[in-house]
Amino acid sequence: MHQKLANVLEKKGISDLTELTSEEKADFDRWDKVLSEGEITIVRILEFCKQQIKLIELKWRDLSIEQSKKSELIAYHTVYSTLADLITVPKSEKENLEKYLNQLLQS
């Protein structure tokens, strides 16, 4: 476990990872992986985006989450999907997506 994460758990009074909810544990595992792997690469960014998309889609399926909260996730899903597409699509499509993202940033 990365030392910074251990310090955060200690500060929060959490002595064991089993005290975390499933969502908190997923976040913790993701953070630990990110901190442990070193240099950020395009491949790691793509993996991160795909993980976030999966988490958002899982939340959409969760019946205990209010519909308004699920609706808020649409923007995040769009951004992560667009970033993943920027990494994986051909150059001409990348240019179109970059224009779309610029429009999103301006509005």
Neighbours of 52 (CB within 10 A): 19
Same domain assignment for residues 83 and 47: yes
Residues 47 and 91 reside in one and the same domain:
yes
pTM for this prediction? 0.54
Q: Are residues 28 and 71 in the same domain?
A: no
Residue 36, pLDDT score: 81
pLDDT at 49: 96
Quote the domain boundaries for residue 46: 41-107
Domain count, the chain: 2
- Shortest CA distance to 52 belongs to which of 79, 86, 25? 79
What does the pLDDT read at residue 59?
93
Residues 31 and 12: their CA atoms lie apart, in Å, by: 16
Task: Kindly report, residue by residue over 48-65, the tens digit of the pLDDT.
Answer: 999 999 999 999 999 998
CA distances from 33 to 27, 28, 83, 89 (A): 10, 9, 20, 26
**Cα–Cα distance, 95 to 98 (Å, whole number):** 5
